[in-house]
A and B are shown apart, each in its own frame.
Chain A
Amino acid sequence: NAGVTQTPKFQVLKTGQSMTLQCAQDMNHEYMSWYRQDPGMGLRLIHYSVGAGITDQGEVPNGYNVSRSTTEDFPLRLLSAAPSQTSVYFCASRATRVSNQPQHFGDGTRLSIL
């Protein structure tokens, strides 16, 4: 099993550009989420999904959109990139929507906005 796969690993964007960070998991997990990790701020939840067709906002959702058309995929879209969105982005999944289970993380996407 590949687990949680994120692409790309690195990306540089100009302010105002849009892009999609891809996340796929092959574990048939119900719950998927996106975090950003910044120095001194820890991991912050952007959006999450408890199943196909269901998404909800986390702590820092502004400037990001998500969709969950299949169980496997949970892409994160930056609508109009801003320098404040420079960060490392992690996608994570867990088996069910029940929170008392460990999450599995992808290797991250390092995103720089110029």
Chain B
Amino acid sequence: EDKVVQSPLSLVVHEGDTVTLNCSYEVTNFRSLLWYKQEKKAPTFLFMLTSSGIEKKSGRLSSILDKKELFSILNITATQTGDSAIYLCAVNNAGNNRKLIWGLGTSLAVNP
């Protein structure tokens, strides 16, 4: 059965720390992996990764995919309280291209 596992489930850090969130997957016919940030309301799109080893970067956030070891990491440097959110990982299965397989998310709390 296809699955996406995120770790850790929750994390508490201080402002300025660097954090690494993990997403591993077992999916047949992998197509892409997506990261979303969910604050109080809707998940908002961060990155989509399709190729191994190519880093996607947006400000203090970056992400990379390893298709051999079947995982992705999301890095946040110099964390701020505004980074507090749930970070969701989802994988597209090309064999079932009408749905995403979602992880349970990592809840990140950044304390001042």
Contact = CB atoms under 8 A, between A and B. Distances in A.
Most-contacted residue by chain A among B43, B50, B104 (CB, 10 A): B43
Contacts, number: 58
B104 A40 contact: yes
A13 interface: no
A26 interface: no
Most-contacted residue by chain A among B34, B44, B48, B102 (CB, 10 A): B102
A53 interface: no
Interface string A1-45: 000100000000000000000000000000101000000111111
Interface stretch (B55-63, B77-85, B93-101): B93-101
A48 B102 contact: no
B98 A50 contact: yes
Contacts of A97: 97-98
Interface range on chain B (Cβ under 8 Å from partner): 20 to 34
A103 B41 contact: no
A102 B48 contact: yes
A100 B42 CA distance: 20
11 contacts: A4-B42, A43-B43, A45-B100, A50-B98, A59-B99, A99-B31, A99-B92, A101-B48, A102-B34, A102-B48, A106-B42
Interface of B: 31-32, 34, 41-45, 48, 50, 88, 90, 92, 94, 97-100, 102-105
